[in-house]
Structure 1
């Protein structure tokens, strides 16, 4: 091969390197921006639950300290016990087991439902439920979660952030004073209350788990903690309901053995105690 041919090839390689360096220099700033800034979500209908509803649900980052109450079983009177705050832990669900809240349904109609709170029970132990929520489920029919659950000792376990839609109730409708409320967000599943619901579950007592017909009810600690949690929101009493009440499959009975009178008495007392608390949400 002649020296002239070598020189020609060397010149071509040098020109190619210069061109490559120029392309990288032009593209690098944009590449940096793309890496530094996460992409815009595909679904732009995701909304901020707190900003949309003005009825925020309690988050553990800003923990108020209301005066707790106890029910005296003898006289059913409320007694205030200062200095109590429920224990809590955070056990976030796998992202496949919850989703965005939408401003429009699948037909394009605006969604303006005010929040409701739906009470459940786990059926199994709290640890079993948490394990289920943290397991990725590729099949949509197996995806399930609550926003929070209350263990037997009253610990509040946060599972799904309030601004997201937990998959707590499938085929469901809330019968409110303005008529039935439900939102269809998936073409292959029935409409549900999930888009505007905050789901809280009691841990089921040991004698009521699986297919057992027995059920000893929930602990005093559970009633106090769930009432305390609900009191941190401004969701009115008439928009607090149960899984059994909203379910349209007629297969859900939870929360079983639920003492609504005890719960509402505690809730009212907590709300009175937090009314003047600047930390309350």
Structure 2
């Protein structure tokens, strides 16, 4: 009798093992605390890509980025070079609200492996004051449409404020791409370069708090501080000068025009003095 029970149990076990395994959706698994926006790509990581979602859509054709930094090679100013090399990279750090940034993901919404290493630097402007930008990024925004952040802010006096650690994904650009590359981190959102981008924003002068296409521009202290921020990122992540671009260029919705009144020659002179251009 015992042997018969054992044999029966064995047959039951084999029968169960031969049945197709049914995966429980990640969202229904007990004990897992996962942000909703991460569920789609994480489920893909478990189930694998399907024929329907196996390929990431190619970004729309965008104009080629012709970097202003590479159009000439200015003569190095020894005095400027000495000053910038001696200039410390002093950061003030604040903590953006967790809703306003995220993790850099290694799998996209289609379950494909992607490289989240920063590969492009996007220049922005705040439009309003430095304090206003800080207040915006430290305020929780539960609605996706309101969430925004940059990694670093540069004030008119040369203040450097880190808002989001470069290892994280700042929400500096929405529908965007650069050099034919974007990432879908969720099937609910359009393609974006945020997963492989670094975002830095210059404080806009008071006369720029309008919808005008130009304003009085940025200060020498801002260009100095910006060059030090960029030099750190370029060296740390091996980013070429060509990959320093603007929000105006990467924005696919044609809704952004920043940074307005940006003087590329001022930046080029400084990055050349630091040995990073030409």
Picking from 79, 97, 101, the partner of 1:98 is 101
Quote how far apart the aligned CAs of 1:239 are: 1.0
- Is 1:181 matched with 2:171? no
Give the SS at the match of 1:232: helix
Count of paired positions: 203
On the 8 A contact 1:231/1:271 being kept in 2, the answer is: no
Other-structure match for 1:262: 266
Picking from 130, 134, 138, the partner of 1:134 is 138
Structure with the higher strand share, 1 or 2: 1
Q: Whose radius of gyration is greater, 1 or 2?
A: 1
- Is 1:84 matched with 2:79? no
Which shows bigger deviation, 263-272 or 213-222?
263-272
Kindly tell me: are residues 271 and 228 of structure 1, through their superposed partners in 2, closer, same or farther at Cα, counting changes over 3 Å? farther
Say what the alpha-carbon RMSD is for the aligned residues: 2.5
Give the SS at the match of 1:245: helix
Quote how far apart the aligned CAs of 1:131 are: 0.3
On the 8 A contact 2:93/2:163 being kept in 1, the answer is: yes
Task: Give, in whole Å, the separation in 2 of the partners of 1:197 and 1:78.
Answer: 32
Q: How does 1:84-233 map to 2 (within 5 A)?
A: 84-112=87-115, 114=117, 115-175=119-179, 180-233=180-233
On the 8 A contact 1:78/1:266 being kept in 2, the answer is: no
Quote how far apart the aligned CAs of 1:112 are: 2.5
Task: Give, in whole Å, the separation in 2 of the partners of 1:218 and 1:41.
Answer: 44
Kindly tell me: are residues 191 and 87 of structure 1, through their superposed partners in 2, closer, same or farther at Cα, counting changes over 3 Å? same
On the 8 A contact 1:86/1:155 being kept in 2, the answer is: no
Task: Give, in whole Å, the separation in 2 of the partners of 1:242 and 1:265.
Answer: 18
Q: Deviations over 1:36-88 (max 9, x none)?
A: xxx98746989xxxxxxxxxxxxxxxxxxxxxxxxxxxx99452226422543
On the 8 A contact 1:215/1:256 being kept in 2, the answer is: yes
Q: Deviations over 1:165-203 (max 9, x none)?
A: 00000000102xxxx010011222211000000100000
TM-score of the pair, normalised by structure 2: 0.67
